[in-house]
Structure 1
Amino acid sequence: MATTEKVTVSLPPDVLAAARAASGGNLSAYTANALKNQAIRDAAAALEAWRAATGDNLDDVYDMAEKDER
């Protein structure tokens, strides 16, 4: 079973009301899911920025993968 940690956050009243309404009674799960989805979007944006900066050249990544297989 996954462990959880209790935290305190401050939200604008309208955001909290919308989250409570959409959460189906489980605000913690709703918030965890929203944060996980945002982290995925942030990681995807970072990957896209890296790919743009490297000219979409994945040769270094493939080289590292081949070295790991040896």
Structure 2
Amino acid sequence: MTTRTRTTVSLPADLVAHARAASGGNLSAYVEHALRAQQLRDAAPAVRAWRARAADDTDELATIFGEDVA
């Protein structure tokens, strides 16, 4: 089971009202989903850079295995 930490944040009232309405009664899960989505967006530049560096590796692997590995 994942350890949970209770956190207090201050947000604009209209944003909280929307989140409560959209959350289906589970505001914590709604906020967690939003934060995880942002975490992925934040990681995207690093992932793109890694894929660009790895592109040379896929060419080498394709040569070794004789198939398209990309």
Is the shorter-chain TM-score for this pair beyond 0.5, marking a shared fold? yes
The structure number with the bigger radius of gyration is 2
What TM-score, normalized to structure 2?
0.66
**Runs of 4+, deviation exceeding 3 Å:** none
1:11-46 deviation per Cα after TM superposition (whole angstroms, max 9, x unaligned): 001110110010000101110111011101110133
1:1-70 matches, within 5 Å, as 1-48=1-48, 50=49, 56-58=52-54, 59=56
Larger relative contact order, structure 1 or 2 (CA cutoff 8 Å, min sep 6): 2
Letter of the 1:14 counterpart: D
What TM-score, normalized to structure 1?
0.66
Aligned sequence identity (%): 56
Aligned residues between the structures: 58
